[in-house]
Amino acid sequence: MADRKPAEVNNGRLRQIYDAYRSALLNRKYYGCQLDSYRKMNRASDIVLAIATPGMVGAWAIWHSQTGQLLWGVIASSVSLLAVVKPIFNWSKEIDRYSRLHAAHTVQFYTLKQLVDDIEIEGGITVAMEKRFNESRAQNTQLAKDDDVRPNKRLSIRCEKEVLREIPSDRLWVPEEGETS
């Protein structure tokens, strides 16, 4: 077991690994929620545009009354506005980006989860584990280039609370005092 590091170095590196592990789960949750939200908005707008076409709904008898004509005018105007602004919002581009980020952060999370499990089993960090962590950090640097410029703070806080409930500090292995790795 010559590829192990001394315990003094281990504690600082353990904190970095555990922080990265939690951050990967946070990012996985955040981008999963963003992906779900954008898919729902896109689907809802597609449904509204499909249903509210003049030929589909405009022929209903309700629209022939004075109130109905006024209401139909408002609906038709809203649908026309939605048809104009939907391409400007370009939700499909965001859906693609969030899909990539969610998938990549999911891989990142499970890679780090496996590393955390291996650290507990081994009772420390081996050179091979150190290499895996450094590779994970390099991948995370690449992922950060596509992160949200202005993250949704409310969603981030909600996801962070979930992460802290799912991965509390007392569930992460740390060496006992006097224990070497």
Rounded percentage of the chain residues whose pLDDT exceeds 90: 59
What pTM does this model have? 0.81
Tell me the pLDDT band of 57, cut-offs 50, 70 and 90.
Answer: low
| One-character DSSP codes across 105-126 | HHHHHHHHHHHHHHHHHHTS-B
Do 25 and 140 contact (CB within 8 A), yes or no?
no
pLDDT score, position 67: 78
CA atoms within 13 A on the CB side of 24: 26
Model pLDDT for residues 121-172, shown as the tens digit of each residue: 988 899 999 999 999 999 999 999 999 999 999 999 999 999 999 999 889 9
Q: Where are the beta strands (DSSP E) in the chain?
A: none
Distance CA 144, CA 139 (A): 9
Higher pLDDT, 44 or 49: 44
